């Protein structure tokens, strides 16, 4: 096979796998930022916190990091409920959620980062499952399980969330609260309760993303910083509240980054990936799968 | 609830500041009460990306201060460390040094870790004409040419000439002379200078550069870089990277079964316990830049005792468990300061700088002199190779044999094994 074609195919496949990690990181934000309009800039920090607890629990109990991530998700749901409670009480209720709410989540981000440094130290932490060192080879295509397993978990989580939002009453209420909270109140549904639930879900998804992250790479308390720009860009590119859009944008981001890095050098990757974002927004301001207001 | 007023915020900030100051003094509670201590001020990365090395540096300083104070201090005065967390944000550094020099009025300033943090402190320090002892900078003073700057690092005066020289010395040990090299460097000052040095030496030796790219620090997946290198089929691979990237590069090379004759370069992170513990046998035959290895050729007086003390405290301080990288040098930096102060007999910035230019220092990392630019007059960039690593046990890194020194020849302790990826 032509060497350039092999490079291209591998670039696309590794980009899709990387996109899987991005999807894991961005899905929770698609709920909080996309549906609830809460600019949770601390989402990547919560993901890293999830990664640290995965390392802690997984090491102590000898469990697979992805399994731990799923098992600890309910605790992160409760943490999300708590964070939303504080945010709602001090900012949203007073109508000060725009700027002060953003400052609040900045604060949460710094507290998490410093808290992790104090609790675990600044060193890199890791928890490598045995399959992290295995690479499947399909002809000329490499499939490292280190990337494949987290991508599959991300797809499963995203699929489950999509079904929940489409098929359950509370799921539909979450979608409704994103469109018109007052109308929801007229239907005798408390929008605050629905938002609390949805925000809890978004933080639970950060836990799952943390498990995916720790399989892909070692983490340190500041690891979340490199994801902030990407996850927000993916959310916007996908169309804010659209989960299929979020997945498509994440995969596109991964593929564009890796193919660019392979052929034109990694320095161009972020520029080209964010260039795609601008291009998409120029032709579809509502994002790939978003609806015009 | 009443809204938070500006005055309330001010009171809260003041209370927080007092609480923070107490914590700093709390490092040496007895000294906080001592009479007229020599106050050594610095910013250090205690959080953020460089915190791993920042905390290890701080612990080494604290061990030194404790020992000096136990002996009665310097010039009859105890020493006190005054430090602030720079959060690995270069933008915070000038403010911290302004506070240290103008508000805290410390007697001596040392630098944060490392190049990217030292550079923003330089203008503040230069304006006040104080002697500045820096740690692990890389060519910072090439631009400033400040005659009171003294850098504790093995890199030497001309990084382009010295940094990668040892790597190519190792490459010359290959049974077949290498013909091609691939270079990848992170987009930061240190890595770019390291990459430039590799390029310079490759050209000098007629080795063809078949891949030469930079990558942004935000890179998550390193397989495209390694795959592109692999397709260029180089004999040598020189990577200049920071810890998270070094991990990604090693992982990707292993996944893609990349086996050049020599794989490595200036990979920061490979020197740290967390990295060695994670990668274990994957490190076999990796050739990388280093500053210290417990080989018989580096058994300087005092280094083993220091490391024993450091390793006892490291788990509690949650910092690098081995202390084979920056800690001996951080301790040695303070020994150099102590020797200068003892010779000068008073805190006189000009006299201290003159002494540091003129005298030789004898520390736990060996004897050295400073050049006119304030770098080590004689560079000592080590290139080590991981050998015989069978598991993730860190004990082996406390003994000779795990990180064999290949260059420079004066410190050589073993023979090159090749290629990368073969069993060590």
Domains annotated for chain A, with CATH where assigned, are: 3-283 (1.10.3470)
pLDDT tens profile A45-80: 999 999 999 999 999 999 999 999 999 999 999 999
Say if B49 is an interface residue toward chain A (CB within 8 Å): yes
What value does the mean pLDDT take over residues B113-129? 94
- Structural domains of chain B ordered from first start: 22-158+303-369 (3.40.50.2300)
Range in A48-52, A92-96, B220-224 with the lowest mean pLDDT: A92-96
pLDDT score, position B349: 97
Q: Say which range, A36-40, A154-158, B331-335, has the weakest mean pLDDT.
A: A36-40
* Nearest-5° Cα angle at B284, B281 to B288: 125
Binding-face residues of A in 179-218 toward B, CB within 8 A? 216-218
Across chain A, which distance is largest between two alpha carbons, in Å?
Answer: 63
| Average pLDDT of the segment spanning B25-54 | 73
For B25, the 3-state DSSP assignment is helix
Q: How close B278 gets to chain A, by Cα (Å)? A: 7
How far A222 CA lies from chain B's nearest CA (Å)? Answer: 5
Q: CB within 8 A of A20, min separation 6: which ones?
A: A147, A148, A150, A151, A152, A154, A155, A212, A250, A251, A254
Per-residue CA distances from B59 to B78, B300, B329, B399 (Å): 18, 20, 12, 22
Whole-angstrom CA distances from B80 to B25, B61, B68, B110, B366 are 8, 10, 10, 13, 25
Q: Is there a contact between B161 and B197 (Cβ–Cβ < 8 Å)?
A: yes
Percent of chain A with pLDDT over 70: 99
Write down the pLDDT at residue A176: 86
ipTM: 0.88
pLDDT (0 to 100) of residue A292: 65
Q: Max alpha carbon distance in chain B (Å)? A: 78
Q: Confirm or reject contact between B52 and chain A (CB < 8 A).
A: yes
Q: From the list B51, B248, B320, which residue is nearest A117 (CB)?
A: B51
Total number of residues shown for chain B: 424
How far apart, in whole angstroms, are the C-alpha atoms of residue A66 and residue B54?
31
At B356, is the secondary structure helix, strand, or coil?
Answer: helix
Give B 221-260 residues with CB within 8 A of chain A.
221, 223-225, 227-228, 231, 243-244, 247-248, 251, 254-257
- Residue B383 in tokens: 């290139």
d(CA B331, CA B310): 10
H or E element, residue B149: strand B149-152
A44 touches chain B (CB under 8 A): no
* CA gap A181, A193 in Å, rounded: 11
Summarize pLDDT for A120-133 with one digit per residue, the tens: 888 788 898 999 98
Contact assessment for residue B390 and residue B276, using Cβ atoms and an 8 Å cutoff: no
Q: Do B52 and A218 make contact, defined as CB atoms within 8 angstroms? A: no
Q: Is A122 within 8 Å of B275 when comparing Cβ atoms?
A: no
Give residue for tokens 């350039």.
A4
Residue-averaged pLDDT of chain B = 90
**The whole model's pTM is what?**
0.87
Q: Whose CA is closest to B266, among B282, B243, B283?
A: B243
Report pLDDT digits (tens) over A238-273: 988 889 999 999 999 999 999 999 999 999 998 888
For A:235-264, CB contacts with B below 8 A are 254, 257-259, 261-263
| Cβ contact, residue pair A123, B272, below 8 Å | yes
Alpha carbon distance, N-terminus to C-terminus of chain A: 48
The residue-averaged pLDDT of B295-301 equals 96
Question: Which among A271, A17, A265, A141 is positioned nearest to B224, based on CA atoms?
Answer: A265
Between helix B243-255 and helix B223-232 the angle, nearest 10°, is 60
């Amino acid at each position: 096979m032509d060497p350039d074609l092999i490079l291209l195919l591998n670039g696309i496949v590794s980009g899709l796998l990387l996109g899987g990690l991005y999807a894991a990181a961005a899905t929770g934000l698609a709920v909080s930022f996309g549906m609830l309009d809460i600019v949770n800039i601390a989402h990547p920090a919560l993901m890293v916190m999830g990664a640290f607890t995965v390392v802690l629990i997984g090491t102590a109990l000898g469990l697979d990091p992805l399994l731990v991530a799923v098992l600890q998700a309910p605790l992160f749901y409760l943490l999300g409920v708590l964070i939303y409670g504080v945010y709602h009480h001090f900012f949203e209720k007073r109508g000060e959620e725009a700027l002060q709410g953003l400052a609040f989540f900045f604060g949460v981000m710094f507290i998490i980062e410093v808290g992790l440094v104090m609790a675990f130290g600044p060193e890199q932490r890791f928890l490598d499952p045995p399959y992290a060192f295995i690479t499947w080879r399909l002809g000329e295509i490499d499939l490292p399980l280190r990337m494949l397993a987290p991508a599959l978990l991300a797809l499963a989580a995203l699929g489950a969330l999509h079904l929940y939002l489409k098929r359950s009453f509370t799921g539909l209420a979450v979608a409704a609260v994103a469109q018109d909270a007052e109308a929801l109140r007229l239907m005798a549904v408390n929008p605050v309760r629905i938002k609390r639930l949805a925000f809890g879900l978004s933080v639970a998804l950060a836990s799952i993303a943390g498990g995916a992250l720790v399989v892909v790479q070692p983490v340190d308390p500041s690891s979340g910083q490199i994801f902030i720009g990407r996850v927000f860009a993916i959310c916007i590119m996908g169309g804010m509240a659209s989960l299929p859009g979020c997945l498509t944008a994440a995969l596109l981001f991964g593929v564009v980054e890796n193919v660019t890095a392979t052929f034109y050098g990694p320095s161009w990757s972020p520029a080209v990936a964010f260039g795609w974002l601008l291009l998409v927004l120029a032709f579809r301001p509502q994002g790939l799968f978003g609806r015009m207001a | 609830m009443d809204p938070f007023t500006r005055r309330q915020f001010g009171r809260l900030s003041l209370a927080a500041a007092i609480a923070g100051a107490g914590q700093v003094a709390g490092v040496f509670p007895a000294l906080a009460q001592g009479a007229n201590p020599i106050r050594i001020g610095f910013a250090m990365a205690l959080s953020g990306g460089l915190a791993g090395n920042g905390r290890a540096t701080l612990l080494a300083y604290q061990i030194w201060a404790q020992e000096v104070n136990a002996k009665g201090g310097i010039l009859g005065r105890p020493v006190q460390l005054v430090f602030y967390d720079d959060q690995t944000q270069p933008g915070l550094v000038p403010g911290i040094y302004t506070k240290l020099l103008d508000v805290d009025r410390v007697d001596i300033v040392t630098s944060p870790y490392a190049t990217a943090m030292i550079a923003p402190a330089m203008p503040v320090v230069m304006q006040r004409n104080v002697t500045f002892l820096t740690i692990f900078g890389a060519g910072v003073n090439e631009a400033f040419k400040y005659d009171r700057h003294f850098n504790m690092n093995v890199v030497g005066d001309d990084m382009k000439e010295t940094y990668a020289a040892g790597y190519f010395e190792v490459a010359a040990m290959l049974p077949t002379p290498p013909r091609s090299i691939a270079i990848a460097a992170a987009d930061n000052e240190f890595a770019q200078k390291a990459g430039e040095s590799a390029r310079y030496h490759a050209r000098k030796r007629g080795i063809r550069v078949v891949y030469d790219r930079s990558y942004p620090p935000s890179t998550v997946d390193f397989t495209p870089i390694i795959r592109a290198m692999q397709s260029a089929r180089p004999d040598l691979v020189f990577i200049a990277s920071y810890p998270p990237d070094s991990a990604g590069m090693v992982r990707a090379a292993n996944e893609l079964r990349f086996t050049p004759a020599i794989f490595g370069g200036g990979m920061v992170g490979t020197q740290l316990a967390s990295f060695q513990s994670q990668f274990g046998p994957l490190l076999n035959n990796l050739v990388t830049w280093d500053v210290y290895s417990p080989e018989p050729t580096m058994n300087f007086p005092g280094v083993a005792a220091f490391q024993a003390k450091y390793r006892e405290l490291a788990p509690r301080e949650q910092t690098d468990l081995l202390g084979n990288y920056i800690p001996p040098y951080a301790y040695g930096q303070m020994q150099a300061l102590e020797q200068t102060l003892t010779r000068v007999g008073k805190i006189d910035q000009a006299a201290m700088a003159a002494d540091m230019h003129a005298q030789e220092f004898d520390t736990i990392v060996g004897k050295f002199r400073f050049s006119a630019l304030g770098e080590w007059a004689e560079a000592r960039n080590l290139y080590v190779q991981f050998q015989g690593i069978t598991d993730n046990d860190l004990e082996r890194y406390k003994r000779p044999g795990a990180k064999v020194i290949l260059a420079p020849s004066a410190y050589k302790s073993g023979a090159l094994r090749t290629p990368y990826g073969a069993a060590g």
